Structures are given as structure tokens and as C-alpha cells.
Amino acid sequence: MAYSTEAPRQNHRSPPRVSEVAPADDIRTIVLNQVAWGAVFAGAVIGLVMQIILNMVGLGVGLSTLDIAQGDAPSAGSMSLGAGIWFVVSGILAAALGGYIAGRLSGKASHSTTAYHGLISWAVSTLTVVYLLSSAASGMIGGAVSTASSALGGAGKALGGSVQTAVQTAAPSLSNVSDPMAAIESKVRSASGGQDPAALRDAATTAVRAALTGDPAQQAAANDKAAEALAKAQNISQDEAKAQVSQYQQQYKEMVTKTKEHAKQAADAAAKRVAQGALFGALALLLVALAAFFAGRISAVTPTVSARSTGV
């Protein structure tokens, strides 16, 4: 019986072609690219411990530079900058060590696979730090973990201190600006010399507050009541009392305007610092991730060639 040498045509009903890749190659590819989670967690733990050690070293070196007795101490801005730089450098070193350990312990011969192991190890350690710093559960863990989270959060506190310092620098008198009415009420109460009854002083203070902060539609009536109350409390003429009310109104407007300007300056400074901090943090995380990736890449295990495979 003769057989045709022409290969049969495939249609939509014919079964798919069998892969030309040998099963052994498929298994080797799966094993080579499979994630070794034990190695990942080991690298993450090593990276976290190294981060703690390096931050404690930085804290010790930083505190050793302070000399309170001599008054020779760096400024808050320089300390915050130094703490931020050291946190990034220590993060890169710790991530590189953790990434190398994760890639090496995975036992993979592929550089790309060990690189991904290092990157995953960094991601696990980063999520752990974020959880410890942001979750209330960190307070219920043992003292060792609390110390670790405090050490890892030192840079965050330093950045927060730099934000607060920047706000105070941009608006130095903001913290000294109180309620505009407080200063005016103090003047109203002290103008009588403390000899008039407290009821008259209280009534004058209340009337002045109503004149300054009350309904604009009833401004004229409030001014008259305030002038009358001031005249009784200070034993002065009605014209002098009206002049005081006008002076208080002008002072109140100036203080409100100044308070709003200071608040705007503080808000702008805070927004600028927060934006800079966010960009700085993103860049730092990117550098740390790259360190873990390349450290894991160079940790790939070089396969050894046995004597049997070489035919010796």
C-alpha cells in the first residue's frame, strides 16, 4: 500500500502540533525561573538587619558630633540633610547585600532570575518597613522590633523636621501670631487701669468684639454700643471712645491681613517641601531597587561541568 509523502494539511479540526521543545528543556526552564521564596525572605531579613545596623552607626556618629556644652552643634537643616543622605546610602548598601544573598541562595544559574530575586527581596523588606512604620500593630510587637522601626524611621523624622524648619523659616512669625482679638481685648481691659468693675470691662470687651467681628449690616449700631461701653468702662467721652473703636478696627484689619499672609507663606513652603520630599523619596527608592537588582544579578551561580558530561 502506497503512502503519500506530502504532509497532511491542518484545519481547524486537526489537533495542534506537538511542541518541538523537549520535555527536559521545559522542566529545566521552569526550575531555572521558579521563585525561591526562602531565598527571597532570607535576603529581605538580611537587608533589614543591615539597615538597622547602618542607621544605628549613623545615629551614633551624628550624636558624637554634638557638643552642647561648647555650643558647637550643626544646624537643624544640615542635620536633616545629613540624615537623609546617610539613610539613602545605608539603604543602598543594605539592599545590595540583601539582593546578593537572595540571588545567591536561590541557586539559579540565570543572571536575570537572580536579579529578580534581589528585586523581590528588596520589595519584601520595603513593604515590611512601611508596615512597621505605619501600622498600629508595630506598638504591640516586642521591644526589639520597636527599636528597629525607630531606627528605620529616623530618616522619616529627619525629613519631617526639615519640613517644619522650612515652614518656620518661610514664616518665622507665624507661631507668634495669635487671635487678632486677643491683643485688642488685652488693650481694652488694661485701659481702665483695673479700677473699674470687672462687669464694665467685660461688657466693653464684648461690645468691641461684636463691633469688629459682627455682622457688617449692623456695623454702625455695634460701633455705637462699643463706644458707649468703652466710655463707661474708662470714664472717657463718647468721642474718645469712638476714636478708640476706629483704631481697634484698623488694627484688627491689619492683623487679619498679616495672619492670612503668613498662613499663605507657610502653606506654600510646606507644599514645596512635601513635593521635594516626595521626589527625593521616589529617587531614593529607585536607587535602592537598582542596587538590589544588580547585586542579585552578579550573584548567579555558575554551573560546574562534571567529568561525566565532558566524556573524560
Mean pLDDT computed over every residue of the chain: 73
Q: How confident is the model at residue 221 (pLDDT cuts 50, 70, 90)?
A: confident
Residues with Cβ within 8 Å of 107's Cβ and at least 6 positions away in sequence, in order, are: 36, 39, 301
> Please, how many CA atoms are within 13 Å of residue 113, restricted to the half-sphere of its CB?
20
**Short-list 1, 298, 275, 240, CA closest to 163:** 275
Q: How confident is the model at residue 254 (pLDDT cuts 50, 70, 90)?
A: confident
> Global pTM?
0.56
Q: Cα 278–157–288 angle (5° rounding)? A: 50
Q: Grid coordinates representing 247?
A: 483704631
Query: pLDDT for 263-301, tens place per residue?
Result: 888 888 889 988 988 898 899 999 999 999 999 999 887
Residue 88: alpha-carbon gap to chain centroid: 14
Q: How far apart are CA 260 and CA 264, in angstroms?
A: 6
Q: CB–CB of 121/102 below 8 Å?
A: yes
What proportion of the chain, given as a percentage, has pLDDT over 70?
Answer: 59
Query: pLDDT for 95-124, tens place per residue?
Result: 999 999 999 999 888 888 999 999 999 999
Q: What is the pLDDT of residue 115?
A: 93
Q: Cα 251–257–259 angle (5° rounding)? A: 100
**Short-list 109, 29, 125, 119, CA closest to 299:** 109
Q: What is the mean pLDDT of residues 62-69?
A: 71
Q: Please say if the pLDDT value at position 54 is more than 70.
A: yes
